[in-house]
Every structure is written in C-alpha cells, then in structure tokens.
Structure 1
Amino acid sequence: MPYVNATDDVKLYYEEVGEGTPIVFVHEFGGDLRSWEPQMRYFSRRYRCVAFAARGYAPSDVPEDIDHYSQAIAARDIRDVLDGLKIDRAHIVGLSMGGFATLHFGLDNPERARSLVVAGAGYGAEKEFEDYFRSVSLEVANQFEAQGSQRFAQTYALAASRIAFQVKDPRGWNEFATMLGEHSARGSAMTMRGVQARRPSIYDLDTRLKAMTVPTLVVVGDEDDHCLQPGIYLKRTVPASGLVVMPKTGHTLNLEEPALFNQHVGEFLAMVEQGRWLPRDPRAVPAQIMKTT
C-alpha cells in the first residue's frame, strides 16, 4: 500500500490516478479519501489526482497522543504529501475540515499552492458560536469512543447540514453514513479533540488572509447555515477569491452535487491555468452603490 511519511513519522496513505498538473484532495471529518471518488474519476481525465487519508483515518496511522493532532499539523500533512510525491506545486481542494487545512496550507505555503478550493469551511468560525462549537466537538469525540463509529455514525450523519443530502440522494447519503461507521472511533475522537476543537476561527486570520494572493474558490451550500457567513467573509477578505453558493445543498457538497461541484471547480482550475483568475479590480470599491462622477 502506498504511504508517505509525515514530518513526525506518521504514515499517510494515499491514492493517485491520472497525469498532468497535480490536484490534491483533502477530505472532511465525516468522510475519508473515498469521499473524493467522483472527483478522482472526473479530474483524472486531465490532471494528476491525489487523495490521502488524514492521520487518524485508516489505513493512515492513528496516533494515540493528542499532540499529533492540530490544525497546523493538518496543513503540514498536505505539504508532506507533496514532498513525499515530489510535487513542487499543486491545486489543493478541501472540504470542511479539509477546507480549513487547505486554507491554512495556502497561508503557510503559498509558493506550493497553484490554487485553493475551500469548500464548506465555517464550523466554529462564527465568533458567537465559538464556545458552543468547542464543547459540542468534545461531546462528539466522547460519543465516538462511548458508542463506537458504526453506531454513532447514524446520529452524526443526521446533523442538520446533512439532511439535504439524505432527502435528495438517499442512496448516496446511506453510503456516506456507512463509510463513516467504518472509521476508527479513536482516530475520530482524537481528530475532534486535537483539530476541530482547537482550531482558530478564520476571523482571527484576517490580516494574513488579506495578504494571501493564492487564487481561491470558496464553495458553500445554501442549506449549510454555519458556512454561509464565513464563506461570504472569505470572499470579501481573500484578494483573488470567488464564491459559489450551491442552491438547496448542505455540507457534503462534492457528493451531494458532484456534477455541479466538478463544473465549478473545473472552470476555476481552467481560469487559474490561463492566468485569468485575478484579484478584484481596485476600481470595484465594495462600499460604492452607484457612480455619479
């Protein structure tokens, strides 16, 4: 099985397919590298596609020490995957937890990122819900350990932001829930405690985000309530960013609406490759409503 070694010697399992400019896919907390299958099949027609299992997600290592889990480490793991595969620069596509890691990778390693797709990134970012998010993250960790993944997955997969997926595509949602139930309960708990519950709000990154020039596409579903405002904030803050809001769509964007997601990401990547994904023109002043002189 193919692995790369992270900086702290944690083994990260990966899969790759296709040839051309590299894309690295970074999965969400509730998913794993299998969650990117619709994208791996589509984009590998013209790109070299890599998906890896985050630490804590078998067949990657599942460290027992919480010090091996953090937002900074999650971003560093992306860099380590690039290094291990001898990839100089890549497009990075992340969802939710993976979207946060993608954003931090762009902040920490802008020279290694051709572009960033930050999808469904917002949970815990809203300042008014910060304390609640941290406490509920710890409770989720406890329930994974107390009930086991297979049982608790049936509860976790019915979170408000997943309902649109279940209503729209029951078979797809059931597959998602089944895969979630196969995760390491210990790995899920440690990821919740070490990464989710301790990561900084994106609003606390304001100065760094304003200075980041990496081309960025922000994607949110309009029924993913706690990602909408953070998504708008990222659009207004990151200079070379664009925002896609997908209608009647929840958190599991790439699986819930794979064709639409692929279309938007494909157009974005093409514009980046052609040098046409530009920062906002300074003449387009956000405060201006109409021009009179």
Structure 2
Amino acid sequence: MATLTTDDGVKLYYEDTGAGTPIVFVHEFAGDHRSWEPQVRHFSRRYRCITYCARGYLPSEVPEGIERYSQERWREDLRSVLDALDLPAAHVVGLSMGAFATLHFGMRYCARGAPPRALSLTVAGCGTGAHPAAYAQAQADSRALAASIRGKGMAHLAATYGHGPARVQFRNKDPRGFAEAIAQLAEHSAEGSANTLLGYQARRPSLYDLTDAIAAIDVPVLVATGDEDEACLEPSLLLKRTIPKAALAVFPRSGHAINLEEPVMFNRLLDDFFHQVERGPWPARDPAAACPSIYGPGGRPPFTAP
C-alpha cells in the first residue's frame, strides 16, 4: 500500500496510475480516492493520474483532535502530495471539499509573481456554504452533522446526507453508480468524518471574503457545477467573474457529484481543457467582455485585467 507523509507527520494513502503529464485528483467530503475511478480509467491512458485519501479517510491516517483538520492543512496536504512524488506542477482537479482545497492551493501556489505549482486548476462543485446568506447556517449544519455522525454512525449519514437535494440527480440517472458511492460513504471513518466537519468545513472562510486572493490566481482555471447544485451556482459565478483566466461550465439537469453523475461529459470537458492549456496560450478574459450591469452578488466592481 503506497503512502506518503505530510509535513506534519500524517500518512496519506495514494494511488499512482499511468504515465505522462500528471493529474492530481482531490476528492469531496462524501467521497475518497475511489470517487475518481471513471476519470482514472479514462485519463491514465495518456496521463499520470494520482488520487489520494485526505487525512481522516481510511486507509489514510485518522489524526485525533480537530486542530489537525483545517482549510490550510487540506491545502498543504495537496502540496505534500506533489512534493512527495517530485512533481514541480500538475493539473489539479478537485470536487467540492477537494475543490476548496484546489482553489486555496491556487491562491497560495499559483498567484502572479511566483512559479506556479499547477498547470491548471479544475474547481468543480465548489462553494457550498460560501455565500454570505448561507455561511453561518452552513457552519452550524456542519457541527450538527458531526454530532449526528458521532451519535448515529456513517450508515445513517449515508442514508440521509447521501440522499440530499443535490445528490438525487445521480441516484435517478445511475442507480448502480449511486448505490456504489453510498456504500463507499458508509465505509468512511466516523471519527475522521466528524473531525473533518468540525475542523475544516465548520471553520473554512467564505470565498466572498477572499476575492482579492482569488483574483490573483494566474493559471488556467475551469469552474464546473451542476445546474441543480443550488449551493454552488452563485459561488461558481463569483469564481468565473473573479479569476481572470477562468472558464465556467454548467452541467444541465445535474447535481453535486458531476464527475460520477456525468462521467462522459466531465471527462470530455477535461480532455478539451487540458488540450487547450497544454497547447497554449490560455489568455485572461478580455476586459471588454465584462458587463457591470449584471455583475453578481456582493457588489464587487466589474472585472479588470491585472
């Protein structure tokens, strides 16, 4: 079993498949390294695909205490993966919780003025709880969910949270795939999942307070969301309007776990994105394309090029 050690001493399980330009996949709260199987099977024919389990997700180590879990730690664990595998840079693809980690990695390691650690960033299903109108409630929900996990276990979480309003789309389209994902969720460590909710999800900052740092990201970014993933629609628009080199893709009649729900569409989109990035250049948005009259929530000024 392949493991690497983070800079604070936590062992992370990883899988390394294929050869070529590296892609690092970063999983969501309800998933683990197995959640990327449709992508690994597709992209490992031409790319080197790395998946890993976040801290708190077996067979990675499950540290005790919520202070070992934070937005900063998720960001630095992603860096530790690249460092341990001697990857100066890679395409980084994250979903949901993994998309937050990917975005924060971009803010820290792909800002203007420094050699970027990513060839590109894919930020999919990002933004749950980020909007100011939802922020306080989302943090309270994370604390309540952690208490439920500790009291009722992972099987109950899988049977409730796993069937939420942005996941029923997956269930309705692909019952077998959905059942597999739910079974995998039920196998997760209760302690690790509760610590993740309390230490990471209930304490992460709102994206709407980080727009200056987000705007400094200077690599190609693909933002993707399902059109029925209500919690992520507005934040996805924020990211598109804030990151100079961002593109936005909205999956029709789709929920949260779009890489599993619509794997063919997701893989085709990534294929095209990687191809365009690798052939270069991927320019920043033309300032003339901004439309201040419809600029989104939060009242930020119109987009301006750096």
Amino acid at match of 1:63: P
Which residue of 1 is the match for residue 298 of structure 2? none
Which residue of 2 is the match for residue 260 of structure 1? 265
For residue 249 of structure 2, the aligned residue among 231, 244, 248 is: 244
Deviates more, 1:187-196 or 1:276-285: 276-285
Once the two structures are superposed, the pairs formed by residues 165-204 of structure 1 within 5 Å of their partners are 165-204=170-209
Amino acid at match of 2:17: V
The separation in 1 between residues aligned to 2:293 and 2:187, in whole angstroms, is 52
Deviates more, 1:3-12 or 1:278-287: 278-287
Q: Does 1:112 align with 2:117?
A: yes
Which residue of 2 is the match for residue 75 of structure 1? 75
The separation in 2 between residues aligned to 1:152 and 1:241, in whole angstroms, is 34
For normalisation by structure 2, the TM-score amounts to 0.93
Which residue of 2 is the match for residue 58 of structure 1? 58
Q: Secondary structure at the match of 1:160?
A: coil
Post-superposition shift, 1:285?
Answer: 3.6
Structure 1 runs, 4 residues or longer, greater than 2 Å off:
282-289
The separation in 1 between residues aligned to 2:117 and 2:27, in whole angstroms, is 19
Q: Deviations over 1:48-95 (max 9, x none)?
A: 000000000000000012111000100100000001111110010000
Once the two structures are superposed, the pairs formed by residues 194-233 of structure 1 within 5 Å of their partners are 194-233=199-238
Post-superposition shift, 1:287?
Answer: 3.5
Amino acid at match of 1:70: S
Check whether the contact 1:268–1:277 (CA below 8 A) recurs between aligned residues: no
- Which consecutive residues of structure 1, in runs of 5 or more, have no partner in the other structure? none
Post-superposition shift, 1:167?
Answer: 1.1
Check whether the contact 1:12–1:60 (CA below 8 A) recurs between aligned residues: yes
Check whether the contact 1:25–1:51 (CA below 8 A) recurs between aligned residues: yes
Check whether the contact 1:219–1:245 (CA below 8 A) recurs between aligned residues: yes
For residue 280 of structure 2, the aligned residue among 272, 275, 284 is: 275
The separation in 1 between residues aligned to 2:11 and 2:189, in whole angstroms, is 15
Post-superposition shift, 1:288?
Answer: 8.0
Post-superposition shift, 1:277?
Answer: 2.1
Amino acid at match of 1:244: A
Which residue of 2 is the match for residue 38 of structure 1? 38
Deviates more, 1:68-77 or 1:150-159: 150-159
- What's the % identity of the aligned pairs? 52
Check whether the contact 1:33–1:53 (CA below 8 A) recurs between aligned residues: yes
Q: Does 1:157 align with 2:162?
A: yes
The separation in 1 between residues aligned to 2:200 and 2:18, in whole angstroms, is 31
- Which consecutive residues of structure 2, in runs of 5 or more, have no partner in the other structure? 111-115, 295-306
